Amino acid sequence: MAKNLVIVESPAKAKTIEKFLGKNYVVKASVGHIRDLPKSKLGVDIENNFQPQYINIRGKGTVINELKKEGKKAEKIFLATDPDREGEAISWHLAHILNLDECEKCRIEFNEITKDSIKKAIKSPRAINKNLVDAQQARRILDRLLGYKISPLLWKKVRKGLSAGRVQSVATRLICDREEEIKNFVPQEYWSINLLCETLNNDKVEFKFYGQGDNKLEINNQQQVDEILENIKGKDLEITDVITKERKRSAPKPFTTSMLQQESSNKLGFPTKKTMLIAQQLYEGIDVKGEGTVGLISYIRTDSQRISQEAAEKAKEYIIDELGDKYYKGISNKSSNKKKIQDAHEAIRPTSIQRTPDKIKDSLSKEQYQLYKLIWERFIASLMEDAIYDSYSITGQIGNYTFKASGSKLKFDGFLRVYTFASAEEKMLPHIEKGWALKVEDTIPKQHFTQPPARYTEATLVKTLEELGIGRPSTYAPTIATILAREYVVKQGNSFYPTEIGILVTEIMKQNFEKFVDIDFTAEMENMLDEVEEGNMKWKDVVENVYSSLKDAIEKAEQSIDKVSVEEETGETCEKCGSPMVIKYGRFGKFISCKNYPECKNTKPILNKVGITCPKCKQGEIIVRKTKKGKIFYGCSNYPACNFVSWNKPTGEVCPACGEYLVHKENKKTSKIVCPNKDCNFEKKVEI
């Protein structure tokens, strides 16, 4: 008896689905794309209306032959690839090799890999959506034209191995522009004055200087500070107003892809690539004790915050049963996102609310558990009531100078009852009444300087790209991986720093291909792809529109860009052949090489010294080094004789508590000097 054939992308997905379908179904995997543009040439016939020249991907012959063999035996073929542009394109290519009519109802889609979803999808196949295919095809051809036309020019004018791309070039530009902002930033001095007061009940409370009367006043120098301190010296603070208000803290929205990447980075410390890898595992299926293999979360590439009625109802039941009616609020499916969203998708959510994180913890790895817990809690929290606080604002005066204190107390925990990744953020104040005169025990003036904008982290870069309308859910993680692999940027701690080669390439792009690193133009390209998906534009018109600008820019750049030498003279002579030694750029950054390369292969590393003696051997110097993935760490110049290594920069100081060396530890909120000795808790804060 002929069986039905179901084709998905991945073997893991195939394995999960096969268990849900009966013996009349065979499930096979294409293992990703089976056809693509050739790597060896452009693969786009520009003169023939940008016709793509697809070929079967090298190494996929065995997979293709197996699919053809099974397809011939099958009574019915179902193409069950992912429910997005990329998945639709894979189905279209599969239809081509299997000689299926694309108008035939052979395409099935589902938002989650569960038994009910798969069986429901099998009952309602549809034709391949050519608009989705065209949108993916336009993106693929645009990426190929930009990459294959600009990259060789960079090889010719700078060095081999460089590349340009529709999203990666803009992402690199954002990081380079931010570095330029930081470099040009001029700090501005400002001061704060706090009063430490004692209430009539002998409680301590701190008030902050606000201004004069009702007018807010900035304190910009020491002279103003001295004048204020002189005028308030020896006087009590008179309480002129005490205001108590109720304040609501809204429940968070359910996760889109970018929101998951940001929260996972901020709360779990996962890079975007790692987040997507683990999320893919949770989506494709995990062997859960007592259940077998099942998809634990819905589809992971989405820019929608919509929740299906069925999922919302089940969550409502859970919240009311487990927590009580007062905790349930529900959710509006109206998205606050201004750009177009693929609202056929849902937000990322658990496939069963009854699979609580702790219930299936033993079936998950540590990292799978962490990410699943984040997704499960966020989904439940999104349907819960707001947290409610009593908010306090207390105003006091000394003469004409106004000081204020504020605080809050959690009155109803709402969504915070479930969402353990958010803190309550309470700040308690003692009881104070209007008309009280508080004794000022201490005045605390403090000098500050304005800070430059923070460098991008993975979370803030993804957030910025999304807000600017650049890229889509599937592109953020690979974009970050690409700019790191190309050595256009490096990560130090959680922050991105542009490399010299990244700055150089960005400058060449800005001077010669301004449109293609222009934020508005790149966002407009994304919008045009959305229009193709909606059926409002033809894909060839989009490609023609972009290519006409690219062609002109390429012709001008060929003439205007002089060859850029990225070699710097060192003043040293090669001890092997007598030629000058120069600084070159390699895959992992700069190094010293003989100018006579490749005839002479003499090379040396560049030691980036930080001016601190190694705390271990007391002879070498601490140098900045990089891992193969571009992450910065600190080692000894005497390596391998001395194996000192630290992720944090040594300060050159000795711990007063235990005698160990101290290191500088910094994140976007705090900066401190700490002792790395696990048995010692010494640390001191420093002003960022």
Could you tell me the sign of the dihedral formed by the alpha carbons of 384, 385, 390, 391, in that order?
Answer: positive
Q: What is the distance between the alpha carbons of residues 77 and 125, in angstroms, rounded to a whole number?
A: 10
Half-sphere exposure of 439 (CA within 13 A, CB side): 8
Give the bridge partners for 207, in sequence order. 195
Q: What is the distance between the alpha carbons of residues 625 and 634, in angstroms, rounded to a whole number?
A: 6
Q: What is the distance between the alpha carbons of residues 509 and 522, in angstroms, rounded to a whole number?
A: 13
**Cα angle, residue 440 at apex, residues 434 and 446 outer, rounded to 5°:** 115
Axis crossing angle, helix 309-322 with helix 366-382, rounded to the nearest 10: 90
Instruction: Considering the candidates 25, 283, 299, 419, report the single residue annotated as catalytic.
Output: 299
SS3 270: coil
Give the bridge partners for 393, in sequence order. 243, 406
Q: Clarify whether 401 is annotated catalytic.
A: no
Helix (H) or strand (E) holding 635: strand 632-636
Give the bridge partners for 348, in sequence order. 255
Give the residue among 145, 131, 82, 71 at the shortest CA–CA distance from 108. Answer: 82
Q: What is the distance between the alpha carbons of residues 663 and 646, in angstroms, rounded to a whole number?
A: 9
DSSP 55-78: EEPTT-HHHHHHHHHHHHH-S-EE
Q: Are strands 204-212 and 189-198 parallel, antiparallel or unpaired?
A: antiparallel
- Structure token digits, residue 91: 């189905």
The residue whose two tokens read 């010494």 is 682
Give the bridge partners for 277, in sequence order. none
| Residue environment code for 152-180, b if the CB has 16+ CB neighbours within 10 A, otherwise e | ebbeebbbeebbbbbbbbbbbbbbbebbe
Q: What is the distance between the alpha carbons of residues 228 and 239, in angstroms, rounded to a whole number?
A: 18
Tell me how crowded residue 261 is: count the other CB atoms within 10 A of its CB.
29
The residue whose two tokens read 């508590």 is 657
Q: What is the distance between the alpha carbons of residues 508 and 196, in angstroms, rounded to a whole number?
A: 56
Report whether 29 contacts 11 (CB < 8 A): yes
SS3 39: coil
φ, ψ (nearest 5 deg) of residue 611 = 80, 25
**Residue count of the chain:** 688
Give the bridge partners for 440, in sequence order. 197
Looking at 233-340, list the stretches that DSSP marks H as alpha helix, in order from N- to C-terminal side: 257-263, 272-284, 309-322
**Cα angle, residue 335 at apex, residues 330 and 339 outer, rounded to 5°:** 170
The residue whose two tokens read 């081509």 is 96
CA 562 from chain centre, in angstroms, equals 36
Report whether 83 contacts 299 (CB < 8 A): yes
Positions annotated as catalytic residues are 299
